[in-house]
Structure formats: C-alpha cells, structure tokens
Amino acid sequence: MRKPIIAGNWKLNKTPHEAILLTDELKRELVDVEGVDIVLCPPFIDLADVKEALIDHNIALGAQNLFWEDAGAFTGEISAPMLKDLGVAYVIIGHSERRQYFHETNETVSKRLRAALKHGLNPIVCVGENLAQREANQTFDIIKDHCEGSLKGLSAEEMKKVVLAYEPVWAIGTGKTATPAQAQEVHAFIRQWLARTFDEGTAGHVRIQYGGSVTPDNIAALMAQPDIDGALVGGASLKAPSFAAIVKGAQK
C-alpha cells in the first residue's frame, strides 16, 4: 500500500513574510491529518523561514530545484548539501516550466537527480507531454523518453527513493485537468515501464503523483484511480483552505 503524497509547488510566489503567514495557516488546517505525506515547496529564499515555522509539525519541506555540483564557482545556484543542511527533505526536479523556460533536459534532470540521491534528498521527478505532443498521439513516446532519459542508470534501490509526478503540460495552470481516466492511463503506462526497467517490486513501491489543475473538487476522483498516489499542486497550493482540502481529499 503506497502512502499518498501531496506536494504544494508554490513556484515564484510568496515573499518570506507571506510564506510564514501561509505556513501558519496550513499548520492549523492540517494539524489532525494522518495517512498522507504533506510537502511544501516554497521558493529558495523562503525555505529557512518555512522550516522554522514547521518545527514540531508533520509537514515536510521541499525545494523546487537544485544544482548538481556540491559547491564551487556557480553563481546563483543552490546545492544538495545546502538544502540538506537546512532540513529540506524533498526536491522537485525537471518540472515542465524548468524544461520549457530554463533549458532543462533529460540529461540535466539526471544530474540533479544523482546529486539529490547522493545527499539523501527525496526527489520528485516530473514528466509530461505538451498539447501538440498529445494531439499528435506522442504521449507515451514522450513519457518513455522522459523516464528513460531522466532516470537513466538508477538501481532499483535508488528508484524506490524517487517520487514521480506525471504532469501533462496542457493541464498545468490552465484549469484543464486531465480526466481521471486520462491520468490513470499514463500512470499505468509509467508503472509498467518501471516493472520492465526495474522489477515488479519497484514498480509497486514507487509513488506517482498527478499534477495539473488539481483542486479540492477533482482530487477524490483522481485519487480513486489505482495508480494515482498523490498530487503535485500549483495554483491551489497558494491558499490554505484549498490546499488543506486537497490533502484531506487524498486520505484514501
């Protein structure tokens, strides 16, 4: 039985002051929730304040990216040891916005993933097709390419530490959620790919989140699908009531 995992991806939102207010509100809303892993992924600059606000709480902290080198002359970058030292537990890698706007490729995703695993961070690796690819019936080819390229060379033991997020690009921030059936179809494909590439045990262990316009209204139907193990939430994670309702909706 895979434990559901709901992560809030705040993207480029919330100043440190706003981040503390949102975290305090979330703590109150989520204090009694059990059976769901909850992760907040604020911008780098908010991590320390959010970490402090989360002391003695069951909500985990995640970053939205990391650089693959540990240290050195890489102006503007943040490394895995830095995140680890701060108490960050998760890190999103290869989000479609990084692939689209910041030239992220499977190769750089793979390097970041290695760095995260080396330093004991739990990676959330994103894969997903865009609208043109879906309309051209290339969805499974793209998912296979993202999985093969991003997860290349991992052992089964390493793979078990990774959370995957299927995020169809056409559903992100558009209000157009994939239907539960559309999402399930791709999640099942990813799980079969895991079974072929690693083994059945690994495929059964890895959690696969869905992401793309998840709301309190659609979370239950998504979570009812056998291969959907949680959600990566953007817009609806920026307000405490909607994020809390999604977390509660994910309690299986």
Q: Which residue, 110 or 218, is less far from ligand PGA as judged by CB?
A: 218
* Sign of the CA dihedral running 88, 204, 229, 137: positive
17 is catalytic: no
**Which residues have C-beta within 8 Å of that of residue 75, sequence separation ≥ 6?**
none
Q: Considering only CA atoms, which of 114, 121, 47 is closest in space to residue 91?
A: 121
Q: Which residue, 163 or 203, is less far from ligand PGA as judged by CB?
A: 163
Q: Is 157 left (phi over 0), alpha (psi -120 to 50) or beta?
A: alpha
107 is catalytic: no
List alpha helices for 160-239, DSSP H. Answer: 180-197, 200-205, 219-223
Is 212 an interacting residue with respect to ligand PGA (CB under 6 A)? Answer: yes
Is 172 an interacting residue with respect to ligand PGA (CB under 6 A)? Answer: yes
Is 167 an interacting residue with respect to ligand PGA (CB under 6 A)? Answer: yes
Residue span binding ligand PGA (CB under 6 A) among the ranges 15-23, 67-75, 100-108, 229-237: 229-237
Q: Considering only CA atoms, which of 165, 158, 163, 167 is closest in space to residue 115?
A: 158
Mask of contacts with ligand PGA, 121-160, x by CB under 6 A? ----------------------------------------
Structure letter (DSSP) for residue 247: H
Is 209 an interacting residue with respect to ligand PGA (CB under 6 A)? Answer: no
Is 234 an interacting residue with respect to ligand PGA (CB under 6 A)? Answer: yes
- Site residues (vs ligand PGA, CB under 6 A): 9, 167, 172-173, 211-214, 232-236
Residues identified as active-site: 95, 167
